[in-house]
Structure 1
Amino acid sequence: MEEDGTFLLLMAEATAVGGELTEAAGEGGFGLNTNILETNLINLAIIISVLFIFGRRVLGNTLQERRERIATAIKTAEQRAKDAAAALAEQQQKLAQAQAEAEKIKKAAQENAQKAREAVLAQAAVDIERLRETAASDLNTEREKAVAQLRQRVVGLALQKVESELRTGIADDAQHTLIDRSIALLGGNG
């Protein structure tokens, strides 16, 4: 602010000097005034010197401050760029780690699914084999029951026939032949 006041004061002085020069030119025409005090040459030299000395300092200080602010802003921007690049690299590394972990989990899940599939297939094969054995066993049991029932029926029919023939009076040879046939039918070879 003080600099602005000084500058305004110098401008006022310059305006006054300009006004005096105009008046002098208007009174006597164009001429050269050699009186140093009347021409305010000294005042003008002082003003120019003051402007040069203080203006250079003010302008130099202003430019220096601006240069420092720009340099600080550049350094800050460069630091932010470095920080952003470091953060980006860190996040990319985390992303790569997460992708690797996801790949491991996917591979483990596929292996577990394959193992589970193989276990289910093996268990199904065991169950099928057990069902076949059970069915074969049940079939054999039913066959044996059927054969046993048939034997009992054949024996029963044979006994009925023998009894009926005994009642009618069969000869001894015929009875022996009939008994041998019945025994042969029952599976016994005597």
Structure 2
Amino acid sequence: MGIVGSVLLLATEAAEAESPGGFGLNFNILETNIINLAILIGVLFYFGRKVISNTLSERRSNIETAIREAEERAKEAAAQLSDAQQKLTQAQAEAQQIRKAAEENARSVREAILARAAEEVERMKETAARDLDTERERAFAELRQRVVAMALQKAESELRSGIGDDAQQRLIDSSIALLGGNT
């Protein structure tokens, strides 16, 4: 018979001792509770000590393992954060370099375009000036030809009508003046 059986036997004997006629209930709370609690604590202490000790030690080791794993994950996260921050810093530096290079490239392209435009404008001015000079010379040559032709026509008509020496001299002088000579 085990401890539980012994406890029941003691409780039964105690009840029989108080009531001689058989089984009875002991209503004295202090006597019954103290005995019951002592027995219960003794049983729990005897049987539960190993179970509770094993459960607590297992729980402690689980907690320690969880703490170690959390610390390792925290270290890994800190290392990853450091790497990410370093990569971000590098990326920002590279972006700054790319931006500076793009600005420099844009500046040089703009200057090249402005230089080409200035050269083109200058070339167009020179071409326009040459064309103007050519047109002016052509216009003067055409005008001279017309003046000469008109002078010749007038001279011929004067010759046919019989002009005098002083009229011929005036005609020659005016023709020469028209052609740009001096009299």
Could you state the TM-score of these two structures normalised by the residue count of structure 1?
0.74
Query: 1:4 aligns to what?
Result: none
Give secondary structure in 1 for the equivalent of 2:163: coil
Distance of 1:166 and 1:94 partners within structure 2: 105
**Which of 55, 58, 61 is residue 51 of structure 2 equivalent to?**
58
Aligned residue identity for 1:84: A
Using a 3 Å threshold, how does the CA distance of structure 1 residues 86 and 12 change in structure 2: closer, same or farther? farther
Aligned residue identity for 2:82: A
Distance of 2:147 and 2:5 partners within structure 1: 153
Question: Would you say 1:156 and 2:149 are equivalent positions?
Answer: yes
Superposed, which structure 2 residues align to 1:84-103 within 5 Å? 84-103=77-96
Query: 2:179 aligns to what?
Result: 186
Using a 3 Å threshold, how does the CA distance of structure 1 residues 12 and 90 change in structure 2: closer, same or farther? farther
**Which of 109, 125, 149 is residue 116 of structure 1 equivalent to?**
109
CA shift for structure 1 position 159? 0.6
Distance of 2:137 and 2:117 partners within structure 1: 30
Structure 1 runs (4+) greater than 6 angstroms displaced: none
Distance of 1:74 and 1:141 partners within structure 2: 98
Query: 2:165 aligns to what?
Result: 172
Distance of 2:85 and 2:6 partners within structure 1: 68
Number of aligned pairs?
Answer: 165
Give secondary structure in 1 for the equivalent of 2:114: helix
CA shift for structure 1 position 95? 1.7
Query: 2:31 aligns to what?
Result: none
CA shift for structure 1 position 55? 3.7
Using a 3 Å threshold, how does the CA distance of structure 1 residues 66 and 16 change in structure 2: closer, same or farther? farther
Aligned residue identity for 1:186: L
* Percent identical: 61
Using a 3 Å threshold, how does the CA distance of structure 1 residues 159 and 11 change in structure 2: closer, same or farther? farther
Could you state the TM-score of these two structures normalised by the residue count of structure 2?
0.77
Q: Which has the higher contact order (CA 8 A, sep 6+)?
A: 1
